[in-house]
Amino acid sequence: MNTTDRLKELNNLFLRKTFALRAATVSDYFSEHFDQVSYSERSFSRDIKALKEHLAERYPSLEETEGDLIRYSKSENRFYYIRDDISAFPSFSEKELDQIASIIDFNKHLFTGGNGNGIVNKLRAISLENNLMRHEELANWPAIELINEGDRSGSEHVKFLVDAIAGKKPIEITHKGLTATSSAKKITALPLLIKEYNNGWYTGWYLLFQEITESNTKIALDQLRVFALDRIEQVRISPERVSLRIHPEFQPADFFKQSLGLFRGTQSAEKILIQVRADSWILSYLPKYPIHPSQKQKDTFLFELTLELNQDVEHFLFRYATEIQVIEPTELREKMRANLALAASLYQ
C-alpha cells in the first residue's frame, strides 16, 4: 500500500466515528485488511502530520480559527477530527466506490424498479472511467453513456419527509394542483412513503399519506392518497398533537400491491387475460420479466394478471398493442379497440 492509499484509508477511519483511532488499532486494521506486516508509532505520527497538512490545505479558514483539525482525547485514548463534516480527501477511491456499490447492491430491497441496480452500475462506471486516466492519449468522447436522470423536482422536501415518516410525525402540507386554476390547499397528514414513479413522460417522486382530522386518526389503506412532491409548496411538523392508531402489520406499500404503477383504479382488482402474438419478442421476455407479481402463464401464449384497471394498465397495453391482445375483461378489450381506432384515424 503506497503512502496516498494509506492516508486515504486513515482518513476513512477518522470518518468512522465508532473506530477508536490510535497507532495500535490502525496497525491491527492495516495488518488485517492489507497484509501490512508492520506499522510503527513513527509511521503513524508521520501520517497524522500529513493528514493535518491535507486538512489545512482544504480548510484554511477553519485551521486558522481552530488550530489543529486533528486532536487527541486522553480520556478516550483516540485521535479525532474536530468536526464531523470535514475530510482530508475530496473524492472516492476506486475501492471506496466499489464498497459503496456493494453496499447498495446488498440493499437493493430499498429500491424499486431496478433503481438499485442502476445506481450500482453508475458507481462502477465512475470507477471504470477513473481508471482510463492511465492511458497516454484518450478518445475525445465518453466511453460510457448512462441515462441522465437529473434532479427530481421536489427533492428539497425529501430529507424532511423521510425523517417525518421514520418518526411517524404528522405534518402540515401546502399543496397545489397542476392546472393553472388550482389553488393551494393545506392539510394535516401522516406521511407514509416516498415512491419514485416513471409515467413514460418523466420520472418523479410522490408522497403517500393519510389526511388526519380530529375524528379520523386510524391509518388504513383505503384512506391513503398520493401527492406529487413537485406540487408541494411547503411542509412543516404539525403543531397539533394527535394519537394515531396504526395496526402492527400495516404496510404502506400494500397500497400499490394491485396497481401496475402509481395510480389506483376505481374498482377492485380483476383478472386480465392477455394473449401474446406467437412470433412476438415479448413471448421470451414475460417469463423472465413479469409485468406484475400477479402474472400467471396459462399456456404458451396466454398470461393472466390480477390488477385494478387504471390508466397505467391501459397505457402499458396500448404501448405494446402490436404484440399483445387483450382477451378479457370485455370492458378493457373494447376500450383498447376504441383507442386503437382513434389512433389509426389520425394517420388516415
> Are 289 and 237 found together in one domain?
no
Domain-embedded: residue 305: yes
pLDDT digits (tens, 9 = 90+) for 66-100: 999 999 999 999 999 998 878 888 655 556 566 66
Nearest to 256 by CA among 227, 297, 232, 226: 226
* CB of 305 closer than 8 Å to CB of 272: yes
> Backbone dihedral region of 114: left (phi > 0), alpha (psi from -120 to 50 degrees) or beta?
left
Q: Got the DSSP string for 123-134?
A: HHHHHHHHHGGG
C-alpha dist (Å) from residue 93 to 14, 21, 100, 348: 16, 21, 11, 59
* Residue whose C-alpha cell is 401546502: 174
pLDDT for the residue 265: 78
> Are 159 and 231 found together in one domain?
yes
pLDDT digits (tens, 9 = 90+) for 143-179: 555 555 555 567 788 888 888 888 889 999 999 887 7
> Are 289 and 244 found together in one domain?
no
Task: Show the domain range for 175.
Answer: 155-253
Q: How far apart are CA 122 and CA 300, in angstroms?
A: 37
Number of domains, the chain = 4
pLDDT digits (tens, 9 = 90+) for 233-244: 899 999 888 888
Q: How far apart are CA 264 and CA 225, in angstroms?
A: 10
Is pTM, for the whole model, over 0.95?
no
> Are 179 and 222 found together in one domain?
yes
> Are 8 and 45 found together in one domain?
yes
> Are 126 and 69 found together in one domain?
no
Q: Got the DSSP string for 313-333?
A: HHHHHHHTTTTEEEEE-HHHH
- Tell me the three state secondary structure of residue 181: coil
pLDDT for the residue 91: 56
Q: How far apart are CA 336 and CA 346, in angstroms?
A: 16
Domain-embedded: residue 295: yes
